[in-house]
């Protein structure tokens, strides 16, 4: 899920992974879709935010924010390197734009 700092669910990304290797299934085609697409929401306008952005609401934390591309990487890194707040852009077409990164200020 992409949940912003205000607790709003922006969307959710659906990806299929191989249960034995943990790799994304890309054959015969990439199996990635979006919750808002599957729900066929009328008049939906996607405004992506960082995956994990809702974790920035803890104003008492002194953890450094770490940004990666993949949501899977952020999840795994959070488990094994808990000294950071892990965010993910969701890929090159994700949330790497002026509006989305404003939250980091």
The alpha carbon of residue 68 and the mean position of all alpha carbons in its chain are separated, in whole angstroms, by 10
The kind and range of the H/E element at 67 are: strand 64-68
Mark the ranges of the chain whose per-residue pLDDT is less than 70.
Answer: none
Q: Which pLDDT does position 82 carry in this prediction?
A: 94
Domain region containing 51: 2-104
C-alpha span between 88 and 101 (Å, rounded): 11
Q: Which pLDDT does position 60 carry in this prediction?
A: 79
Q: Which pLDDT does position 6 carry in this prediction?
A: 94
**pTM metric for this prediction:** 0.85
Q: Which pLDDT does position 30 carry in this prediction?
A: 73
Q: Which pLDDT does position 89 carry in this prediction?
A: 92
- How many separate domains does the chain show? 1
Q: Which pLDDT does position 96 carry in this prediction?
A: 76
User: For residue 8, which of 38, 39, 43, 46 has the smallest C-alpha distance?
Assistant: 46
């Amino acid at each position: 899920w992409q949940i912003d700092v205000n607790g709003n669910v922006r969307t959710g990304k659906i990806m299929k992974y191989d249960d034995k290797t943990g790799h994304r299934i890309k054959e015969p085609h990439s199996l990635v879709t979006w919750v808002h697409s599957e729900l066929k929401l009328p008049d939906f306008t996607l405004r992506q935010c960082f995956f994990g952005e809702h974790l920035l609401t803890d104003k008492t934390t002194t953890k450094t924010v770490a940004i990666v591309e993949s949501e899977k990487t952020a999840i795994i890194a959070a488990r094994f390197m808990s000294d950071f707040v892990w965010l993910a852009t969701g890929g090159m077409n994700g949330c790497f734009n002026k509006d989305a990164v404003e939250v980091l200020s």
